[in-house]
């Protein structure tokens, strides 16, 4: 643990009895004394507080001073409508490579005179280098240091945060804002990674413990670790970079078509112009050979990452692989995400997984596995 980076909340986590584990080069809490199952259910019914300070926060400013120039430069790296993103709004996107694969997925916010990106912890240095190389001299990039990132998630998140910052209740899903809390500047988005309503809040490191303690003092709020974060995002059908999407996976294979707006598609005003556009746009039209799907295994045993999938009990030819899997406390059963051949990807299709030398059935399922509760 001594060789790992620590977030500003490290001592708070250990003081709360968290079990700390290595994650993306950081010592991070995987669970607290109540355990992963209760943490998961608490987030689904009340509000959970997550430390996600290991994530990268990057500001992009156009040298011209015009945010549209920053948006235009970023569009050369992502198949996303950044120019059409209004001030005070955020959207999901991904960096692609020349083969159409996903280099990382991220959140993009228009903060009026600049863009703010939140990228994955393990990719943040590579993402920064990718942007420096791909955006030329038109923009200035800043990797934000000295700010923590907390996620407050769950149906009670609005009421809890509004006790500290009343204006937070007025935000819609995917709104971003800069708000004041006792003289501290908070950067807030109404978003998250659990399928629940909630916020991601960037706070100066010097104030992070005080802010976290103020939230945890609210009865509905409990600390939540990486274990429950994973089961929550899996129930929500959300991708984990490095597992469900990576440099070899196209957005269309990953069933992320919805994140590519019409203006960037064939026939759109700014069609293409991003790495791997030829393959990605062709797959948008014709479909991909494989597809990311949800799986509901029969029985209670989870089908975890790496489990090989077959069309029948006797087939010798694999049709795909599980990329994430576990037990869903909300749905009270196992769930998995994986890739299968297009011919086997229809919801309701029964396929088979190879587990401990046996073929066990699983049904292709619609995602999310549990309904999303975002504030629209």
Q: Which residues pair with 238 in a beta bridge?
A: none
Same domain, 212 and 326: no
Total count of residues recorded for the chain: 376
Contacts of 344 (CB under 8 A, 6+ apart): 311, 319, 320, 351, 364
Q: In this structure, are residues 28 and 21 in contact, taking their beta carbons and an 8 Å threshold?
A: yes
Same domain, 39 and 156: yes
What pLDDT, on the 0 to 100 scale, is given for residue 136? 80
User: HEC states along the chain?
Assistant: CCCCEECCCHHHHHHCCCEEEEECCEEEEEECCCCHHHHHHHHHHCEEEEECCCCEEEEEEECCCCHHHHHHHHCCCCCCCCCCCCCCEEEEEEEECCCCCEEEEEEEEECCCCEEEEECHHHHHHHHHHHHHHCCCCEEEEECCCEEEEEEECCCHHHHHHHHCHHHHHCCCCEEEEEEECCEEEEEECCCCCCECEEEEEEEHHHHHHHHHHHHCCCCEEECCHHHHHHHHHHCCCCCECCCECCCCCCCCCCCHHHCCHHHCCCCCCCCCCCCHHHHHHHHHHCCCEEEEEEEECCCCCCCCCCEEECCCCCCCEEEEEEEEEEECCCCEEEEEEEEEHHHCCCCCEEEEEECCEEEEEEEECCCCCCCECCC
Calpha distance 318→332 (Å, rounded):
28
Q: What is this structure's pTM? A: 0.97
User: Does residue 81 sit within a domain?
Assistant: no
pLDDT tens for the 376 residues of the chain, in order:
669 999 999 999 999 999 999 999 999 999 999 999 999 999 999 999 999 999 999 999 999 999 999 999 999 999 999 999 999 999 999 999 999 999 999 999 999 999 999 999 999 999 999 999 999 889 999 999 999 999 999 999 999 999 999 999 999 999 999 999 999 999 999 999 999 999 999 999 999 999 999 999 999 999 999 999 999 999 999 999 999 999 999 999 999 999 999 999 999 999 999 999 999 999 999 999 999 999 999 999 899 999 999 999 999 999 999 999 999 999 999 999 999 999 999 999 999 999 988 999 999 999 999 999 998 7
User: Does residue 141 sit within a domain?
Assistant: no
Query: In the numeric block, which tokens belong to residue 278?
Result: 């030829």
Same domain, 366 and 295: yes
Neighbours of 182 (CB within 10 A): 10
Q: In this structure, are residues 139 and 67 in contact, taking their beta carbons and an 8 Å threshold?
A: no
Calpha distance 272→261 (Å, rounded):
11
Q: In this structure, are residues 339 and 292 in contact, taking their beta carbons and an 8 Å threshold?
A: yes
Same domain, 193 and 314: no
User: Does residue 160 sit within a domain?
Assistant: yes
Buried b (16+ CB within 10 A) or exposed e, 20-56: bbeeeebbbbbbbeeebebbbbbbbebbbbbbbbbbb
Going by C-alpha positions, the residue among 364, 249, 232 that lies closest to residue 303 is 364
What pLDDT, on the 0 to 100 scale, is given for residue 2? 67
Same domain, 227 and 161: yes
Query: In the numeric block, which tokens belong to residue 121?
Result: 């912890």
What pLDDT, on the 0 to 100 scale, is given for residue 356? 87
What pLDDT, on the 0 to 100 scale, is given for residue 1? 64
Q: Last residue of some domain: 235, 253, 277?
A: 235
Same domain, 24 and 164: yes
| Cis amide linkage into residue 368, ω under 30° from 0 | yes
Residue listed under structure tokens 């689904």: 44
What pLDDT, on the 0 to 100 scale, is given for residue 376? 78
What CATH number is given to the structural domain containing 334? 2.40.30.110
Same domain, 182 and 308: no
Q: Last residue of some domain: 193, 212, 235?
A: 235
What pLDDT, on the 0 to 100 scale, is given for residue 155? 98
Same domain, 40 and 158: yes
Calpha distance 5→25 (Å, rounded):
6
User: Does residue 269 sit within a domain?
Assistant: no
What CATH number is given to the structural domain containing 187? 3.30.1360.120
User: Does residue 64 sit within a domain?
Assistant: no
Same domain, 151 and 32: yes
Same domain, 228 and 294: no
What pLDDT, on the 0 to 100 scale, is given for residue 71? 98
Structural domain containing residue 204: 5-51+146-235
User: Does residue 28 sit within a domain?
Assistant: yes
In a 10 Å sphere around its CB, with 0-12 CB exposed, 13-18 middle and 19+ buried, how is residue 221 labelled? buried
Going by C-alpha positions, the residue among 154, 139, 19 that lies closest to residue 76 is 139
> Could you give the number of structural domains in the chain?
2
Calpha distance 96→93 (Å, rounded):
10
User: Does residue 266 sit within a domain?
Assistant: no
Q: Last residue of some domain: 173, 201, 235?
A: 235
């Amino acid at each position: 643990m001594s060789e790992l980076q620590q977030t500003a909340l490290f001592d708070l986590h250990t003081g709360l009895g968290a079990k700390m584990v290595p994650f993306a080069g950081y010592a991070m809490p995987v669970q607290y004394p109540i355990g992963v199952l209760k943490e998961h259910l608490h987030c689904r019914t009340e509000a959970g507080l997550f430390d996600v300070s290991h994530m990268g926060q990057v500001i992009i400013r156009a040298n011209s001073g015009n945010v549209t120039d920053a948006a235009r430069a970023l569009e050369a790296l992502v198949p996303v409508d950044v120019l059409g993103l209004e001030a005070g709004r955020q959207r999901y996107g991904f960096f692609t490579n020349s083969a159409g694969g996903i280099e990382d997925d991220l959140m993009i916010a228009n903060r009026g005179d600049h863009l703010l990106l939140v990228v994955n912890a393990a990719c943040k240095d590579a993402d920064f280098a990718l942007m420096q190389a791909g955006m030329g001299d038109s923009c200035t990039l800043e990797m934000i240091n000295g700010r923590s990132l907390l996620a407050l998630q769950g149906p009670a998140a609005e009421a809890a945060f509004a006790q500290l910052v009343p204006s937070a209740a007025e935000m819609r899903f995917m709104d971003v804002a800069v708000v004041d809390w006792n003289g501290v500047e908070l950067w807030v988005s109404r978003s998250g990674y659990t399928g629940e309503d909630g916020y991601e809040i960037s706070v100066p490191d010097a104030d992070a413990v005080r802010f976290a303690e103020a939230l945890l003092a609210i009865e509905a709020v409990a600390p939540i670790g990486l274990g429950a974060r994973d089961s929550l995002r899996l129930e929500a059908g959300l991708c984990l970079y490095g597992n469900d999407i990576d440099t070899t996976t196209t957005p269309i294979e990953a069933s992320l078509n919805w994140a590519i707006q019409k203006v960037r598609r064939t026939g759109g005003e700014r069609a293409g112009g991003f790495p791997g556009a030829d393959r990605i746009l062709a797959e948008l039209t014709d479909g991909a050979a494989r597809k990311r799907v949800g799986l509901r295994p029969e029985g209670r045993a989870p089908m975890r990452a790496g489990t090989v999938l077959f069309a029948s009990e006797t087939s010798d030819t694999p049709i795909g692989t599980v990329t994430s899997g576990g037990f869903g406390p909300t749905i009270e059963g196992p769930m998995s995400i994986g890739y299968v051949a297009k011919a086997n990807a229809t919801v309701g299709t029964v396929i088979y997984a190879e587990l401990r030398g046996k073929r066990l059935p699983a049904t292709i399922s619609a995602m999310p596995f549990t309904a999303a509760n975002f504030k629209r």
